[in-house]
């Protein structure tokens, strides 16, 4: 099937009037930006925070664990504060992995393990 | 390489304004072409393509298949344009002033262009809506047969056939008009 030659449809080209078309595009862009802004405002703040909080918490937990491990390797006794820090680090790491923060009871158990039992 | 529709839609869902802007650059003109195919009015096509695009971004979570964003968007355009027709609010004629810019072409040239637009509009009106969409997307927007087929959910062969008949019809009518002058 031989296609007939295309008819010249450039009379309908929106960019034959660049100023008008630019106005249409900018008006659309502005409205779209408002929609996106509204969308971002409506998002769950915890979801937004968790997006950047998780890597920070994970890094902090890893550093604490490494410090604890270094302590053991050089044979220094484990002071109470260091044990507490290590328990908190484990707890934080577990919280990051499961995607939500530790409960009050878990925190208490990490800080005062005997009292919590 | 151009980012896929899927990637851009997922980014818009995460609130990325730049991704929405990329989709606008990709689809606003085709949206206008489809709106023009339905309404036959350029002024209405400008309004419909804007409203439909904004509405699509508002409802982006409803786009079940992000890979088919184009087809989904064009359906929104079609529905909006048809609603406008149903309400009888389409502007059938446009004043010359609407497309005359201060530093644009001379009034004589603009009159000639307006006349050509009217003839083309009349010729397009003799085609079916789908034929108008196909010929405008192909010959004005430069979409390939496959792209049109995918986004209009038609077999490629049907797109080729619509294009063939639309072009032939346009040439017949425009040729006749030329002979009458």
Q: pLDDT digits over B40-60, tens only?
A: 999 999 999 999 999 999 999
Long-range contacts of A7-10 (CB under 8 A, 24+ apart): A7/B120, A7/B123, A7/B135, A7/B139, A7/B167, A7/B170, A7/B171, A7/B174, A9/B120, A9/B135, A9/B136, A9/B139, A9/B140, A10/B140
Is the pLDDT assigned to residue B139 strictly greater than 50?
A: yes
> What chain B residue is nearest to A11 in terms of C-alpha separation?
B117
Cβ atoms within 10 Å of A6's Cβ, excluding its own: 15
Q: Give the whole-angstrom CA distance, residue B165 versus residue A116.
A: 82
Is the pLDDT assigned to residue B110 strictly greater than 80?
A: no
Q: Which of A4, A20, A24 sits opposite B171 (nearest CB)?
A: A4
Interchain CB distance below 8 Å, A19 and B101: yes
pTM confidence score = 0.69
Secondary structure (3-state) at A11: helix
Chain B residues closer than 8 Å to A24 by CB: 28, 46, 49-50
CA neighbor of B38 nearest in space, from B121, B112, B162 = B121
Interchain CB distance below 8 Å, B17 and A28: no
Write the pLDDT tens digit of every residue in A7-31: 889 989 999 999 999 999 999 999 9
Determine the pLDDT at residue B26: 97
A49 vs A94, more confident: A94
> What chain B residue is nearest to A48 in terms of C-alpha separation?
B14
CB proximity A35 to B under 8 Å:
yes
SS3 annotation, chain B: CCCCHHHHHHHHHCCCHHHHHHHHHHHHHHHHHHHHHHHCCHHHHHHHHHHHHHHHHHCHHHCCCHHHHHHHHHHHHHHHHHHHHHCCCCCCCCCHHHHCCCCCCCHHHHHHHHHHHHHHHHHHHCCCHHHHHHHHHHHCCCCCHHHHHHHHCCCHHHHHHHHHHHHHHHHHHHHHHHHHC
In this complex, how many residue pairs, one in chain A and one in chain B, have their CB atoms less than 8 Å apart?
95
Determine the pLDDT at residue B89: 72
> What chain B residue is nearest to A3 in terms of C-alpha separation?
B164
Task: Summarize the confidence of residues B79-88 as an average pLDDT.
Answer: 91
Interchain CB distance below 8 Å, B15 and A40: yes
Interchain CB distance below 8 Å, A25 and B28: yes
Chain A residues closer than 8 Å to B136 by CB: 9, 12
Disruptive mutation site among A23, A35, A51 for chain B (greatest number of B CBs within 10 Å): A35
Task: Summarize the confidence of residues B91-100 as an average pLDDT.
Answer: 47
pLDDT band for position A72 (cuts 50, 70, 90):
low
């Amino acid at each position: 099937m031989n296609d007939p030659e295309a008819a010249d449809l450039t009379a309908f080209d929106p960019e034959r009037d660049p100023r008008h078309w630019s106005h249409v595009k900018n008006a659309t862009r502005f409205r779209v930006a408002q929609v996106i802004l509204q969308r971002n405002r409506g998002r769950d703040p915890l979801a937004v925070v968790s997006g950047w909080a998780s890597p920070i918490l994970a890094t902090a937990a890893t550093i604490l664990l490494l410090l604890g491990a270094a302590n053991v390797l050089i044979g220094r006794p484990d002071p109470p504060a260091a044990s507490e820090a290590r328990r908190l680090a484990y707890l934080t790491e577990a919280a990051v992995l499961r995607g939500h923060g530790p409960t009050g009871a878990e925190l208490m158990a990490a800080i005062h393990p005997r009292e919590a039992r | 390489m151009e980012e896929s529709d899927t990637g851009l839609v997922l980014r818009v869902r995460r609130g990325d304004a730049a991704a929405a802007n990329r989709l606008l650059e990709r689809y606003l003109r085709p949206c206008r072409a489809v709106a023009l195919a339905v309404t036959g009015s350029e002024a209405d096509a400008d309004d419909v393509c804007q409203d439909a695009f904004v509405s699509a971004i508002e409802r982006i979570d409803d786009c079940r298949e992000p890979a088919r964003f184009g087809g989904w968007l064009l359906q929104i355009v079609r529905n909006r344009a048809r609603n406008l027709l149903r309400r009888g609010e389409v502007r059938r004629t446009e004043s010359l002033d609407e497309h005359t810019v201060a530093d644009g072409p001379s009034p004589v040239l603009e009159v000639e262009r307006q006349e050509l637009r009217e003839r083309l509009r009349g010729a397009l009106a003799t085609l079916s809506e789908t034929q108008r969409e196909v010929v405008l997307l192909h010959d004005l927007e430069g979409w390939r047969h496959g792209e049109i087929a995918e986004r209009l959910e038609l077999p490629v062969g049907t797109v080729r056939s619509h294009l063939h008949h639309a072009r032939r019809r346009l040439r017949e009518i425009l040729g006749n008009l030329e002979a009458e002058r």
